[in-house]
A and B are shown apart, each in its own frame.
Chain A
Amino acid sequence: MAPPEPGPHPATARGPRDRCSTGIEALDNILEGGIPRGSTVLVAGSVGTGKTTLSLEFLLHGAERGERSLFLSVTEPAAKLVENMRSFEFFREELLGTGMLTLVDIPVVYERLGLDHEEMRPDEIRIFLATLDAFLTESRARRVVLDSLTSLAYRIQREERIRDFMLRLSEILTAHGCTTLLVSEIGPQPGRYSLRGVEEAIVDGVLLLGNARRHGDILRVLQVIKMRGTPHSRAQYVVEMTPIGLLLAPHFQGESGPEE
């Protein structure tokens, strides 16, 4: 195997405390211990590729370790996410009651703020972000998931406004020291990791989930596209969803010889 290529930033002497373990052992190994703390990472993939499942595992693992975790759900009701989480063996009901893990229905937030326009105006975007900022202060969240950025950005239609929104959002998350996964819903075509293309340029990392074909069979795959401050493999891994979490194996190609 070729040695991993150096990342965009020279690797500094980092301890495990600077890394946010995802709970997915093989992914942590690829990322030299985890996601650099304070990073904002896009989790991109088409429907059914495991974005929500991966994000839930990330949060549960954090909550289990005593890091306050926050799930901002735009598309699925919180109650349904709790149902999904129960399929993990390491899920414990107490995590919800003690405030270690909080799930927020964003549509409810919209309603409270009176943000009922189909398209959010700049002042409404400001209100939304200020509310998020206040909520992060109050909840003291160390880990955040937004599922999905796509459905949120759908209400901000102009590209320059999306860019501003993204910059402001990552500023807020960084100021609070949150390690964040932003879920990005994309079509099955390769080459792009977000709907508008501006999101992926602003974030610190991109994890891509997808499907690979082998004859008639479809394999779930995961790839680290980018992760600032981390020299990492860009290889594709096959994903298996299990009650003990996501497991990864190298995606066998059966083409190149052992000398490669």
Chain B
Amino acid sequence: MVTESDLGERLRRMPPGSAVALRLDPARYADHYLLAINATVRDVGIETNARSIYVSVTNPSALVWSIAQTLDVPPERLRIVDAISHIMMDYRNPLPNATYLESPRMLENIMLRVEYLLRKEPGQRHIVVIDSVNSLAIHNPTKLLNEFLHILLNNLKARQVLTVLLAVRDDSSPAIDQLLALVVDETIDLGEGVAPP
């Protein structure tokens, strides 16, 4: 398995504006997820003095926030664009560091919330994390998702923002891999180097 420091090192070496897919193994999802957050939002964030904009389509921001706190992510370095709480009816105590969208199908608005957060802090370095491509694919047709990722990643590249896309490996459906192959600069398999169980 890729270690935290390996992953951090590889992300730091990426040219500015790169888009990287991190492939998580579903059988070791929790380990891989924590590894990904530690390496990107915490370590690369602190070492490169970047703030993270975390687009959450998988888990409500309340959960993302509490995980980040457990991992000692400095709170001022994390903003969450929450596109899932509304449709999960989990919207009772909005977090000050989160912004809420009505649905994960409002892809343009996801893009514009990210743009807003970037513009609010001109001169600040940012990392954008998309959690996850699979969750976006549950709610959106592939062609729409393709258009979204294409335009979003182009914009982020122009702003020299590092983008990290979480993708859970799904051997039964090649659509997500095909999609990612078109839009990212590199894919890092977090289970790499380990024989499959």
A residues at B contact (CB < 8 Å): 214-217, 219, 238, 240, 242, 244, 247-255, 258
Contact = CB atoms under 8 A, between A and B. Distances in A.
B112 A240 contact: yes
B147 A254 contact: yes
A250 B115 CA distance: 13
Given A214-B105, A219-B106, A244 B120 contact: yes
Main secondary structure of the interface of B (DSSP, over half): helix
A216 B112 contact: no
A219 B109 contact: yes
Contacts of B103: 216-217
Given A214-B105, A217-B105, A247 B115 contact: yes
Contacts of A251: 108
Interface in B76-106: 102-103, 105-106
A214 B107 CA distance: 10
Contacts of B113: 240
A223 to B, nearest CB: 14
A244 B111 CA distance: 15
Interface residues of B, number: 24
Contacts, number: 54
Contacts of A244: 116, 119-120
A78 to B, nearest CB: 28
11 contacts: A216-B103, A217-B102, A219-B106, A238-B109, A238-B112, A240-B112, A247-B115, A249-B111, A250-B108, A250-B151, A255-B143
B58 interface: no
Contact of A247 (B112, B143, B146): B112
Q: Which of A216, A240, A248, A250 has the most CB of B within 10 A?
A: A240
Contact of A238 (B108, B140, B143): B108
Interface string B134-148: 000000110111111
Contacts of B148: 252
Nearest to A251: B108
Contacts of B147: 252-254
A249 B152 CA distance: 10
A248 B151 CA distance: 13
B116 A242 contact: yes
Nearest to A249: B108
Contacts of A240: 108-109, 112-113, 116
Contacts of A238: 108-109, 112
Contacts of A254: 140-141, 143-147
B107 A252 contact: yes
Interface string B117-132: 0011000000000000
Nearest to A250: B151
A207 to B, nearest CB: 18
Contacts of A247: 112, 115-116
Given A240-B113, A242-B116, A247-B115, A252 B108 contact: yes
A57 B109 CA distance: 20
